[in-house]
Amino acid sequence: MKENIKEIWNKRPLIISGPCSAETEAQVLETAQRLHATGKVNMLRAGIWKPRTKPGLFEGIGVIGLPWLQKAKAQTGLPITVEVATAKHVEDALAHNVDILWIGARTTVNPFSVQEVADALRGVDIPVLVKNPINPDLELWGGAIERLQKAGLTNIGMIHRGFSSYGNTQFRNAPMWHLAIEMKRRFKEMLMICDPSHICGNRTLLQEVSQKSIDLDFGGLMIESHIDPDNAWSDAKQQITPERLNEMLGDLIWRSENTSAQEFITALASLREQINHIDDELLTLIGQRMKIADKVGEYKKENKVTILQTNRWNEILERAVAKGDALGLSKEFIIRYFDAVHLESISHQNKVMYAN
């Protein structure tokens, strides 16, 4: 990898911005200049080929946009990144000295496409960022990363852009933070950045979602920006001007995962000790609860009663939600927690029922 790209790749936070789509040469150049002027952006992004849900929408300017990006790089010094989905895209991007590639959410879902891109990159020393697949499937996300690793790529990062869900929610793509956290656990040293633009789908939540990702120790952000957001040819609702981006980045509070201040370390160690202790107690109690469930299972077996008794389950939930509320625990958490406990209890009772 070229020295200057290595330096950018290792920068934390890594801030990537630029339009959803490259539209005209003037738009690309002006965006790059205004982003560069913020002094906070490390890399310019622009979609050249756009995977659109329906035909008839703007599907990207295509290969003629690549020289515009090269020119923007020459004028500002900002390295450039584009989305690739086919071997031809890879070939064109490399021919135009694109510095970093990314794989979009609609490509990560398709192992054929990911493999095609990986094969086209065999022997090429370029960093690649892999967006999560549109559906919440971590195996698919991890599988895409493994395909690239098998092709010999060593600089791979992840972009969390949220997951598509049916029906209207507050977000265009639900963040499901726990899934990104799990990927960070599976790929420990790997860079993970957040794309709040595609999570939010609008401008109002951008700051909040960006801050949340920073608090979860993400390594950077990819945010869409446009010189005239309302008139963007794609994703108009979620884009912001470079100046607004500058303000937003200035307002974010960057935290580091570790600090060397002794007092902090001691206080944290003591609190973690308490948490470990409580977790141990909770597990012991849950174990005891399951032993009681086993006994209930035995009685049900002897008396030929079904395992699931809906009324009893509703009663448990109602009690727990009320109690949880008084303790400052959200209804959502209580339901998720009790669902998990209940499933485990059913599986225990099942074992008892079908034991010889």
Which parts of this chain interact with Mn ion (CB under 5 A)? 20, 235
CB of 85 vs ligand PEP, minimal distance in Å? 9
Is 105 a binding residue for ligand PEP by CB under 6 A? The answer is yes
Contacting range for ligand PEP; rule: CB under 6 A; set: 65-73, 99-107, 147-155, 271-279:
99-107
128 binds, among ligand PEP, Mn ion, none (CB under 5 to 8 A by kind): none
Contact 242, 236 (CB under 8 A): no
Contacting range for ligand PEP; rule: CB under 6 A; set: 102-110, 147-155, 311-319, 347-355:
102-110
**Which residue of this chain has its Cβ atom nearest to Mn ion in the complex?**
20
Residue 174, helix vs strand vs coil: strand
**Which residue of this chain has its Cβ atom nearest to ligand PEP in the complex?**
104
C-alpha to C-alpha distance for 76 and 9, rounded to whole angstroms: 17
What is the per-residue DSSP string for 67-124?
Answer: HHHHHHHHHH---EEEE--SHHHHHHHHHTT-SEEEE-HHHHT-HHHHHHHHHHTTT-
Identity of the residue, 240 or 293, whose beta carbon is nearer to ligand PEP in the bound complex: 240
Identity of the residue, 116 or 235, whose beta carbon is nearer to Mn ion in the bound complex: 235
CA count, 13 A, side-chain hemisphere, 53: 4
Residue 125, helix vs strand vs coil: coil
Is 20 a binding residue for ligand PEP by CB under 6 A? The answer is yes
Residue of 73, 160, 184, 198 interacting with ligand PEP (CB under 6 A): 198
Residue 201: CB atoms within 10 Å: 18
Run of H or E including 198: helix 196-200
Identity of the residue, 89 or 161, whose beta carbon is nearer to ligand PEP in the bound complex: 161
Identity of the residue, 50 or 73, whose beta carbon is nearer to Mn ion in the bound complex: 50
CB of 20 vs Mn ion, minimal distance in Å? 3
Measured over the CA atoms of residue 7, residue 101, residue 150 and residue 106, the dihedral's sign is positive
Contacting range for ligand PEP; rule: CB under 6 A; set: 103-111, 117-125, 281-289, 342-350:
103-111
What would the two tokens of residue 329 be? 């625990």
CB of 163 vs Mn ion, minimal distance in Å? 16
- Give the relative orientation of helices 25-38 and 242-251 as an angle to the nearest 10 degrees: 30
Footprint of ligand PEP (CB under 6 A)? 20, 47, 104-106, 131, 161, 195, 198
